[in-house]
Structure 1
Amino acid sequence: MQRRQFIIQGSAGLSALALPALGQAQSRPVEGKQYLRLGTPLSGTAAAGEVLEFFSYTCPHCHAFEPHLHQWLGRKPAKVQFRRVPLIINPIAKVTQKVYYALEAMGQLEPLHAKVFSAVQADLSKFQNLEGATAELVKLGVDGTRFKQMAESFGVQSKCQQANSLAPALGNHGVPTLVVNGRWVTSPSIAQGYPEVLATLDHLLTLPRA
């Protein structure tokens, strides 16, 4: 079964996303501008609210967005669940998807997430296969033997399949993309800025769930 491939969003204005658009930042986000309604709603979202980030370690725009998202995570409502979903947007991302879920299974994801992001962005060629990825992770202090066991485990394979099954719901949206409560979709490209997309997240979490 051929897996759907996603194209990295790279709009002309993406390089200027770090600059706040003051007019948008001071007004309430609007559907059709800062956020859109997801064509096919996702089921099984958390009752107290849920934000999914669809991303890839191989995506430079995701890497640029990560520090801003990290700041938002520090102030998000405690009851709101946040989950990352690594997607396959190119052949190397198939390997880094396994890296993500293997580290998660090992309990080492959070302390290493940013470091892995930087390592992948520094040299994609070192993550073309599991052997190369293992060698890079060993440099970060990961047990290489245990990592390979986890990366090839049934549990990680299942997690990858689950992530891939969510991908079609995004339609033509690339990465990074955020889905709120299974209904609303936004991104730095859609909202036209990092401050704008974070303000949009806050707004979407206040909208009725029904």
Structure 2
Amino acid sequence: MFKTARSRLTALLCGLVLTTACSAASSDKSAAPFTDGNEYVTLPAPYQRYSSSGKVEVVEVFSYACIHCAEFSPYVDQLRKDLPPGVELKQVPAPFNDAWVPFARAYYAAKKLGLFERTNDALFDKKFKEQYPINSMDEIADFYASEGANRGQFMVIANSPETDAQIKKDLALIQTWGVDGTPTIVVDGKYRSANIKDFPQLVALTKWLVQRELNADKGK
């Protein structure tokens, strides 16, 4: 049985004080391979998307601190290639607790420095396959420096007010979506993955929900 890393999300009113620990194509309903309330849930309206691009949006809520996300990462890489035109895949780093916040900071610093594509799987491999100690902000910065980043510049971006604001925004959206585990998929801010048995099923569900949204757009 596939299990996500779970955590109860609690945001305090001041700053980035985050508590709790890591845990964590048919329109015919009779023929649907997935059931609302089981493999996925329909979120309450008004639906809140991550972006306003106008494309059908697939969001993976993940963390570099989550071993399940490391295992799912190759599936995400393939899914990004397989999604049809008019669909975009985005990732949101989950700041579930104090231990996960540095990894969220690292994600945004890597994106801004143009290092994400080259280092995404490498960070997972270093931390989980090689069992290299990467937990603190300093250790994370050392990793990115080894991948060619300017360490000082990386740290400035990772700890900037802009990154603080983005992490707060991410947390609010994750709470709105009811995400309490990683990896979780959210499609168009409307559907959230729920009781999934394995990664292939999560990919299949994502593609099915995407096609459902594309069909709905055609019908407008």
Q: Using structure 1 for the length normalisation, give the TM-score.
A: 0.79
Does the C-alpha gap of structure 1 residues 109 and 172 become closer, same or farther in structure 2, counting only changes over 3 Å? closer
Q: In structure 2, how many angstroms separate the alpha carbons of the residues matched to 1:162 and 1:123?
A: 31
**2:135 paired residue among 127, 130, 142:** 127
Counterpart in 1 of 2:208? 203
1:160 shift after superposition: 1.5
- Select the residue among 43, 48, 53 that pairs with 1:42: 48
Contact 1:3–1:164 (CA under 8 A) maintained in structure 2: no
Larger relative CO (CA 8 A, sep 6+): 1 or 2? 1
| 2:197 pairs with one of 174, 192, 197 | 192
Contact 1:7 1:175 in 2 (8 A): no
Greater mean alpha carbon deviation, residues 68-77 or residues 45-54:
45-54
CA RMSD after TM alignment? 2.5
Distance in 2, Cα, partners of 1:89 & 1:124? 22
Select which of 136, 139, 153 maps to 2:146.
Answer: 139
Q: Distance between the aligned counterparts of 2:200 and 2:180, measured in 1?
A: 20
Alignment-derived partner of residue 100 in structure 1: 107
The percent identity for this pair of structures is 21
- Structure 1 residue ranges without an equivalent (≥5): 10-25
Q: 1:182 is matched with which residue: 170, 181, 189?
A: 189
**Higher relative strand content:** 2
**Offset of residue 7 of structure 1:** 4.1
Determine the structure 2 residue equivalent to 1:115: 122
Aligned to 2:5: none
TM-superposed CA distance for 1:4, in Å, is 5.5
- 1:17 equivalent in structure 2: none
Preserved CA contact (<8 Å) 1:8 1:89? no
Greater mean alpha carbon deviation, residues 89-98 or residues 176-185: 89-98
Does the CA-based 8 Å contact 2:141-2:155 persist in structure 1? yes
Contact 1:101-1:160 within 8 A present in 2 as well = no
Distance 2:126 2:177 in 1: 27
Query: 1:46–1:5: structure 2 CA closer, same or farther, 3 Å change rule?
Result: farther
Task: Report the alpha carbon displacement of residue 49 of structure 1 after superposing the two structures with TM.
Answer: 0.3
Q: Separation in 2 of the partners of 1:84 and 1:30?
A: 24
> Which of residues 175, 179, 190 is equivalent to 1:168?
175
**Contact 1:191/1:197, CA 8 A, preserved across alignment:** yes
Q: Which residue of structure 1 lines up, in the alignment, with residue 155 of structure 2?
A: 148
Q: Distance in 2 between matches of 1:3 and 1:146?
A: 25
Amino acid at match of 2:23: I
Secondary structure of 1:155's aligned partner: helix
Q: Give the letter for the 1:59 counterpart.
A: C
Gaps of 5+ in 2: 1-11, 25-30
Quickly say closer, same or farther: Cα 1:124–1:170, change in 2 above 3 A. farther
1:8 aligns with 2:16: no
